[in-house]
């Protein structure tokens, strides 16, 4: 089942991330898709803040992965926009089965590498401030998570 959340500001997007963070678990995978400027990195900032990460969160476009260890749980922030299709050096499975949370921006580009169980969020720009975020859980624990936070 797909779910929908309407964000009318960056604060709303961050609040959704904070609610999801409140139900965190080791190995959580969150996939983010949407056009540039749709709110993907804002979502990551909200989740990082809720985890207690004080470091400035920026999209890791040229690094591919940024790892944040200082919070309640490790946060792995990926941006696969510039990844080569044949790039196998990242070790996705290590992140997906780890002790932290992995968030992937532009996840649709590596769909064949994603774990079967995950949470997908698609951001759609409505106007300057409004975004509709479609949440699609894969697996029972993600279904439960979405039902709890919405």
Domain assignments of the chain as residue spans, ordered by start: 3-149
d(CA 76, CA 133): 21
Q: What is the signed CA dihedral for 21, 102, 26, 29, rounded to 10 degrees?
A: 80
pLDDT value of position 123 = 98
Tokens of residue 146, six digits: 């979405």
- Give the CATH number of domain 3-149: 3.40.50.300
pLDDT value of position 82 = 74
Residue of 79, 83, 29, 24 lying closest to 57 (CA atoms): 79
Cβ neighbours, 10 Å, residue 42: 21
Mean pLDDT per block of 10 residues along the chain (150 residues) reads: 94 97 95 94 96 88 82 92 62 79 93 94 97 98 95
- The three-state secondary structure class of 118 is strand
């Amino acid at each position: 089942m797909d779910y929908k959340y309407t964000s009318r500001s960056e604060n709303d997007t961050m609040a959704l991330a904070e609610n999801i963070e409140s139900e965190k678990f080791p190995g959580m995978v969150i996939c983010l898709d949407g056009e540039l400027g749709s709110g993907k990195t804002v979502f990551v900032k909200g989740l990082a803040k809720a985890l207690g990460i004080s470091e400035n969160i920026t999209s890791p476009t040229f690094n591919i992965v940024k790892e944040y260890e200082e919070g309640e749980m490790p946060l792995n922030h990926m941006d696969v926009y510039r990844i080569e299709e044949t790039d196998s050096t990242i070790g996705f499975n290590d992140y997906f089965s780890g002790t932290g949370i992995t968030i992937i921006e532009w996840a649709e580009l590596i769909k064949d590498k994603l774990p079967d169980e995950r949470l997908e969020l698609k951001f759609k720009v409505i106007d300057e401030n409004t975004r509709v975020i479609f949440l699609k859980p894969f697996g029972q624990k993600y279904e439960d998570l979405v039902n709890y936070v919405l």
